Amino acid sequence: MTYFELFQLPYGFAVDLGALTITYRDLQKAVHPDNFANASSHEQLMAVQKTAEINDALATLKHPLRRAEYMLHLMGVDIRAEQQTLQDPAFLMAQMELREALDDARHADDPDAALATLTSQTQSDIDQYFNDLTPILDAQDQANAENAADFIRKLKFLYKFLDEIERLEDELFSD
Amino acid sequence: MAYSEKVIDHYENPRNVGSFDKNDPSVATGMVGAPACGDVMKLQLKISDEGVIEDAKFKTYGCGSAIASSSLVTEWVKGKTIDEAQTIKNTAIAEELALPPVKIHCSILAEDAIKAAIEDYKSKQ
């Protein structure tokens, strides 16, 4: 059973987050330990395992990048534990420049504005990659599976960069 | 997670941080990234006409282990020929820095950075 089937959602990148949350509550209720107080230890164990699966499924379907990685995995390409390096000089140079710009933002006259610019720029890059990625995943287009893997690898750098922006924001504006 | 003393030493006193002019024909630039953690590494080698690495610089955005791995290889490659540098293995880097299994990819990144730089050098010749 795929996570989509578990949550009774149609297979596709666009996920109704409201429906996801409602189904999550129903699923959790069904396997709640209270319902298994008088059950056999085997049934209790099954319920615990089901709970873990439901939680994994929710976390995976909720986050766009994890959902994309999972959909690629359903296409037979698993990059979730790979240690392979990315060697795309132009992309990596741009990533390095973004990180240098983040260093500069720390000392900018208006760090808040500098960080906002970097965030919106990165977000629009992320949207662009998802625009290219979504049709491949939705159609389970095997001929483009490697391209999809490449988009997802690059998205990981962009999401990591958003985390770094957030960390600097917390550091600069926490008081 | 506890870092080894050698990682902390390289992290606190990184060797050879910086850049060379990438348009200089004697400069080789290797850019690599690790999707698993989003680390980005740039390794630059200054190579003599005889194919000996005279100087090396790096810039790495990543965790302590990634910074230590790149700092270490800048020390190791200096004075080596490109053929010798090509043989540096990630396992040797990981062993020297006592990297735990979850940080092995940082040493792979450093090994691949050397290879990418040498590739760049050869393409410039």
Same domain assignment for residues A105 and A42: no
CB contact at 8 A, A146 and A82 = no
- Contact assignment for B108 to A93 by CB distance below 8 Å: no
A59 and chain B: CB distance < 8 Å anywhere? no
Query: For residue range A50-91, what is the model confidence (pLDDT) as tens digits?
Result: 999 999 999 999 999 999 999 999 999 999 878 889 999 999
Same domain assignment for residues A158 and A104: yes
Asked if residue A81 is part of any domain, the answer here is: no
Which tokens hold the place of A13? 């990148």
- Contact assignment for B59 to A96 by CB distance below 8 Å: yes
Summary mean pLDDT of chain A: 93
Same domain assignment for residues A98 and A165: yes
Asked if residue A77 is part of any domain, the answer here is: no
The domain that holds A162 is classified in CATH as 1.20.1280.20
A-contacting residues of B 18-47, CB under 8 Å? 29, 31-38, 40, 42
Of the three residues A62, A81, A98, the one that is the final residue of a domain is A62
Summary mean pLDDT of chain B: 93
Which of A78, A79, A82, A85 is the best mutation test for B, with the most CBs of B within 10 A? A85
Rounded to an integer, what distance in angstroms lies between the CA atom of residue B67 and that of residue B37? 13
A-contacting residues of B 80-119, CB under 8 Å? 104-105, 108-109, 112, 116
For A85, which of B59, B61, B108 is closest by C-beta distance?
B108
In 3D space, the residue among B19, B48, B114 whose CA is nearest the CA of residue B76 turns out to be B114
Asked if residue A71 is part of any domain, the answer here is: no
Same domain assignment for residues A52 and A9: yes
Same domain assignment for residues A39 and A104: no
Structural domain boundaries, residue A96: 89-173
pTM over 0.95: no
Same domain assignment for residues A96 and A161: yes
What's the sign of the alpha-carbon dihedral B3, B38, B80, B92? Answer: positive
Say how many domains are in chain A. 2
Same domain assignment for residues A95 and A146: yes
User: How confident is the model at residue B1, as a pLDDT?
Assistant: 58
Asked if residue A79 is part of any domain, the answer here is: no
Query: For residue range B85-120, what is the model confidence (pLDDT) as tens digits?
Result: 999 999 999 999 999 998 999 999 999 999 999 999
Asked if residue A53 is part of any domain, the answer here is: yes
Return the SS3 of B94.
helix
Rounded to an integer, what distance in angstroms lies between the CA atom of residue A44 and that of residue A34? 10
Asked if residue A12 is part of any domain, the answer here is: yes
For A92, which of B36, B40, B108 is closest by C-beta distance?
B40
Closest approach of B37 to chain A, Cα-based (Å)? 7
ipTM of the complex: 0.86
- Contact assignment for A157 to B33 by CB distance below 8 Å: yes
The domain that holds A25 is classified in CATH as 1.10.287.110
